[in-house]
Amino acid sequence: MKIGRGAYVSIIIAVLLVIDQVIKITVKLNMCLGEEIRIADWFLIKFIENNGMAWGMELGSKMFLSLFRIVAVIAIAWYLLRLIKEKVGYGYLAVVAMIWAGAVGNIFDSLFYGQIFTESTFYSASVLTDFGAGYAPILMGKVVDMFYFPIINTILPDWIPFWGGEHFVFFSPIFNFADACISVGVITMLLFFRKRLDADLSHKDTTTTSSDENK
């Protein structure tokens, strides 16, 4: 029996959110801030926290970032519902669901982690506490990051202008599972569903123009 589009999207979102939160909570409760677990020379679990967006980027104040995320999640949710009603292909639905799940995963940190956890430090792991007795007000919690892939970790040769002799790391950003969902979703959308995305954007522009002309 073929699963309905609404149920299909709900399952994807639920599974991704559970994976994201299980990883983050496990790290938060068992690792000190800055602690590393070396899986391989090119892959580490390194616990950091950030106030910013995906991949640790920052944009304005923490409150602005949290509110920006909420607006983005509402917009993507509206788009998902529209796609379900239009009965678009399951592949495109999965991609948009991945992006939405990633955005919600990081919002969950901002909304609730400051309320339910004590502050992580370089000397002690966090612990669960009574709701409201945590380290930060609602919307001000920090996002937990842990995946670190220093694929190239070296000292640049002295003969390289400007940067010679300096430490160089590629890939340096530390990110989480939610960030990966957003990035994979966006890249997949641009590579394989560009026509659908362009059609939606063109339809929006056409609708806006028509509305303006009818005023």
Active-site amino acid positions: 145, 179
What dihedral angle (degrees, nearest 10) is formed by the CA atoms of 122, 125, 128, 132? 0
| Residue partners of 174: CB distance under 8 A and separation at least 6 | 46, 48, 56, 145, 146, 147, 148
User: Residue 187's Cα: distance from chain center in Å?
Assistant: 14
The 3-state DSSP composition of the chain as helix, strand, coil percent (nearest 5) reads 55, 15, 30
How far apart are the C-alpha atoms of 146 and 45, rounded to whole Å?
5
Which residues, listed in sequence order, are joined to residue 169 by a DSSP beta bridge? 153
